A and B are shown apart, each in its own frame.
Chain A
Amino acid sequence: MKRWLRAAWARAVQTARLCCGVPDYDTYVRHLHEHHPERPVPSYAAFFRERQEARYKGTGGRCC
């Protein structure tokens, strides 16, 4: 039960962050480790800033 709740909470946080244009940080770190081990891993704060800038770079926008 506790594990299930924790998983559900993680999903909710992931959804809420994605709605704000911030993808899952852990997934990104895992991706870097697996595919680009030579690249430095940014901190969550740096990752967040980069994504925040990228969200308003031009494509899409919001719906009416």
Chain B
Amino acid sequence: MRSAAVPPSPAGKLLWIAIAVVGAWCLGVVALRRGEPINAIWLVAAAIAVFVIGYRFYGKFIEHRVLELDPTRATPAMRHPDGLDYVPTDKWVVFGHHFAAIAGAGPLVGPVLAAQMGYLPGTLWILFGVVFAGAVQDFMILALSLRRDGRSLGHMLREELGHVPGIIAMLGVLVLMMIVLAVLALVVVKALTHSPWGTFTVAATIPIALLMGVYLRWLRPGRILEVSIIGLVLLLASIWFGRHVAESATLAPLFDFDAKALAWLLIAYGFCASVLPVWLLLAPRDYLSTFLKIGTIGLLALAIFLAAPMLQMAAVTRFIDGTGPVFAGNLFPFLFITIACGAVSGWHSIIASGTTPKLLASEGEARMIGYGGMLMEAFVAIMALVAAASLHPGVYFAMNSPAALIGTTAEQAAQTISQWGFVVTPDQLTQTAKDIGEASVLSRAGGAPTLAVGMARLLHEIIPGGGMMAFWYHYAILFEALFILTTVDAGTRVGRFMIQEIAGLIHKPLQQTESWTGNLLATAICVGLWGYFLYQGAVDPLGGINTLWPLFGIANQMLAAIALMLATVVVVKLKRERYVWVPGVPAIWLIVCTLAAGYDKLVGPISFTAAAQKYAAAAAEGKLLAPAKDVAEMQRIVTNNYVDAGLTALFMLLVLTMVAFGLRTIVRAWRINHPTAHEEPYVPLDAVSGSAP
């Protein structure tokens, strides 16, 4: 463990000055060069320099000054190891575990959507957001939990802020989870709509997982590596065979669904997957998706370095004025909620106070895991942004704009998009569709297909081969669909347990997780909650993502604001008030962003309320607005928008309540002249018998 007290050597100083100069130069190129496309390597190099400097200086500052982490202090894993949950573990192993747990679809989707404003706004927010907000949150919550026996976020909130705010925050987490599941499932729906090839490969993962489950349970218990290799080979075979399905006149219709049908299939699937024993379907899928996720992220990094694509998207487009087709709203606040994961993600505060703090062998390793892990996630977001920005802008907008704006034929789309200033021919759009083996690329919103096309191009460049573009495209779709569906299954189970716990307060027997009545009932409620929003997205006039992603962003940033508020409260309670700005400023920033975005979504031209009123007024005049085909559908769109508006109001109320509770605790703690935080007492490392890693 290096200490802050040791001054850096002259050579070390020179190295850091060199990194700073190179980083500043690259950032200058990214930010200032206009009119000619730049190479993605500039962006990647700028990101690496910013991350390395942030980690070395700001991370270290937080470690020593703000958190006062102490490598001589025994961690929970050292104090009471149990060989199962509390296990002192090698820091690289913990890092891998932590990164696998925080990396999800979020950092891949958000930056792709935000690319409509150009690559520069998204890049700057990811780089500085992660250094000053995201990584700070992950690191501080991890450290807080380390000092509190590995307690969860909810538990710490109850202890430090009070019982009521703790419960309110956990209610917020439950609602957030439902929105997360719905919006992620919608990403899959959008990617698979009328794509027999994609639908077939994703469907094939079910029998593959069942086979793996049986293998792991009965044939070769616990041999994860073996079974994952078998699974991977079968997956690749299913992608290869998918082409024949798509080209076959008899098989293709079996896997050709519209958005509504896919939504229902996913709802039914989510229900089954979370009711069945975990070893049969959920766990094997989880293994496969974890390894595929890490492997593919590595592959993407390699492809970007080797292919070194030019960024075809402009640095800043005209859509910073809020008129963009991908999502509505001005740069402030909507950029900052569209890119949630990747810059700062509230969900991480749950992971950072979950398994990870119970595995650390030394407090000195927390910066690498918490701060470093989040920097890695931000790097994934930068790669997603590069993949999207290296596409032809016309193709990008064709894929991400709703049919209501660009029409349903390549000619209409090319004409509209060219009028926006991104000149593209119908041929370019149909050729892209042909390259990736799909009938059309229009209005495939949700980030996943765009990223898949970007990835397919990059991979095709480093591993060429006839017709391989289509293979790589479907590989990328499968990779995203696989881990999104794993999140949906696991999330439904977690939601089910949460609902059963709440139901148990009303009727005790419902709490029993072994009881089939309680199980089926709670699962049905859970699936119903996210299924409602998923179906709403599938029938949404603007394609769903446009509507639901901001709701997700608001909810996720709300949770991040709550987590950073907790960190602020604890800093004050520890009587380290001079550092209150470290978690305090990002907390305020996120509160401002969530409230501003919430306000825009509640009242004004781009609000849910305005959308509801527009459809209600048309319905009153007896008119039908697309995509509604009858009066009942018009009515449903009105209701859906009012529900979304209500949810937005709920999130805003939740943030304001938490701010009030937070401020109350801060004022009280500020007045008391001794530390009042609920840390576990100091136990020296030498005094415990925990076995070293």
**Chain A residues near B (Cβ < 8 Å):** 11, 13-24, 27-32, 34, 44-45, 47-49, 51-64
Contact = CB atoms under 8 A, between A and B. Distances in A.
B355 A56 contact: no
B497 interface: yes
B283 A56 contact: yes
B341 A64 contact: yes
B278 A56 contact: yes
Contact of B84 (A28, A61, A64): A28
Contact of B101 (A24, A29, A34, A63): A63
A49 B586 CA distance: 42
A47 B83 CA distance: 11
Given A31-B691, A57-B497, A64-B180, A16 B355 contact: no
Interface in B328-382: 341, 345, 347-348, 350-351, 354-355, 359
Contacts, number: 135
Interface of B: 81-85, 87, 89-90, 92-94, 96-97, 100-106, 152, 177, 180, 184, 216-217, 221-222, 224-225, 278-279, 282-283, 286-287, 290-291, 294, 341, 345, 347-348, 350-351, 354-355, 359, 483, 486-487, 490-491, 493-494, 497-498, 552, 556, 691
Given A34-B691, A63-B102, 14 more contacts: A14-B93, A15-B92, A18-B89, A19-B101, A23-B85, A24-B87, A48-B222, A49-B217, A51-B84, A52-B278, A61-B490, A61-B494, A62-B490, A63-B104
A32 B83 contact: yes
A12 B203 CA distance: 30
A53 B493 CA distance: 12
B497 A60 contact: no
A60 B291 CA distance: 19
Given A31-B691, A63-B102, A44 B152 contact: no
B691 A30 contact: yes
Contacts of B286: 20
Contacts of A21: 355
A45 B216 CA distance: 9
A15 B221 contact: no
A51 B222 CA distance: 10
Contacts of B93: 11, 14-15, 18
Nearest to A20: B287
B221 A27 contact: no
A53 B497 CA distance: 14
A51 B83 CA distance: 11
Contact of A64 (B94, B345, B494): B345
A64 B105 contact: yes
Given A11-B92, A23-B83, A58-B494, A16 B224 contact: yes
Contacts of A61: 177, 350, 487, 490-491, 493-494
